[in-house]
Structure 1
Amino acid sequence: METIDKLKQYVEQQLGDDTTGHDYTHIQRVVALAKTISEQTENDDLLIVLTAAYLHDVIDDKLVDDTYDKQKEVQSKLVQLDYTSAQIDEVMDIITHMSYSANLKHHYELTINGQIVQDADRLDAIGAIGVARAMYFGGHFGDTIYDPEQMPRNDMDKSQYREHTTVINHFYEKLFKLPDLMNTPAAKEMADRRSQYMHDFVREFKDEWQGIH
């Protein structure tokens, strides 16, 4: 699709230099996962799914200083690419409400298109790649890998969640919770295997930390 090709170029320009684990390769994996989930899901609109999958991190407040201006820029880009007002509204609704932090205190009901993209993004946060991205993200911000005296936090709002924690605590505070939050049957099935890998990793990590083996 020519429209998607042009959108890809824009997103790669925006995220190509990212060093937090939200770079263009992350976007490519989310898009691939979204396609896989879409193939097994009814009543979705693939153009909306792909568009939101490509754009979901461009306006992320972890990555940009002024999310309002960035949202306006994204909307203008979609107008240039001849998306309809309804399509733009749905894409913006998805990418502004799909993040984990945006749903900490209130679960936002996304369209089926948004649920697919949310699942794809969350799948890329878990499993072997999830472990690597957690370490990469923590290293970027100078977070401690592990502190046995620092317990994982619960019942956080967004501002509390944004306060840095240890990398291992991040598994308990977010990553271990994601499999139960998947929307679609296809994503739930993929999440089970990835979740097991993460649990095995953290168990092995703590055993090695204590010198058990």
Structure 2
Amino acid sequence: MIKTDAERLVKERLGNEGSGHDWLHIDRVRKLSIQLAEGTEADEFIVELAALLHDLPDRKLADDRRMSRLEVETMLTSLSVGDDERTQIMHIIDTISFKGTGRTIPETIEGKIVQDADRLDAIGAIGIARTFIYAGSKGTPVYEPDGSDSAIQHFYDKLLKLKGLMNTDAGRKKAEERHRFMEVYLETFFKEWDR
């Protein structure tokens, strides 16, 4: 019941979100998190709830979609999530973001799993699509040959680094294929750009 209520609340809030951090992203991260948790000691309830709520306080969301950290914590309380579980979920939300070097690693297996799942959704074919959706939502150009801010520059600033930042063996395995796809995409992009 708690997970169903959380899903409904997140779906209502992020259903039409236009930066690529929408409900469909959340649902993919949740499904990937559950997959990555299989065969581990991870608490699936913590994993799934953290995956469902992970983007609600994200600075990349529009102000009318984003929630404060306190609002997310209050939501968990209203869903009757216990104190220990709430603390664990909030810690995951606080530590999974890439911010800066991307080298912040959650302390728990649950956090590592959700971080890997979120990063996997940022790479590969879906990651490429999300990159361009986000760039478009912010008025960022597709590419600037001088190396200034662009969707293509984001690949070098973040996306191509994610394969090496995976926490779990399952995450690393999934990241390999998605990373190769991005490399092929960029090679093709620059061939077409230079013609």
SS at the partner of 1:143? coil
AA at the equivalent of 1:62: K
Q: Tell me what 2:190 maps to.
A: 206
Detail structure 1 runs of 4+ shifted over 3 Å in the superposition.
64-69
Matched, 1:132 2:129: yes
CA distance in 2, matches of 1:27, 1:83: 20
Matches within 5 A, 1:1-213: 2-40=1-39, 42-63=40-61, 65=63, 70-101=68-99, 104=101, 107-150=104-147, 165-211=149-195
CA distance in 1, matches of 2:107, 2:125: 27
CA distance in 2, matches of 1:95, 1:115: 11
Q: Which runs of 5+ in 1 are unaligned?
A: 152-164
**Structure 1 residue 14, shift from structure 2 partner:** 1.5
Q: CA RMSD in A?
A: 1.9
Using structure 2 for the length normalisation, give the TM-score.
0.94
CA distance in 1, matches of 2:193, 2:67: 45
Using structure 1 for the length normalisation, give the TM-score.
0.86
CA distance in 1, matches of 2:57, 2:3: 18
Kept in 2: contact 1:179–1:188 (CA 8 A): yes
**Structure 1 residue 112, shift from structure 2 partner:** 0.5
CA shift in 2, pair 1:105/1:208, >3 Å: closer
CA shift in 2, pair 1:100/1:18, >3 Å: same
CA distance in 2, matches of 1:85, 1:110: 18
Kept in 2: contact 1:34–1:117 (CA 8 A): yes
Kindly tell me the number of residue pairs found equivalent between the two proteins.
195
AA at the equivalent of 1:117: V
CA distance in 2, matches of 1:129, 1:142: 20
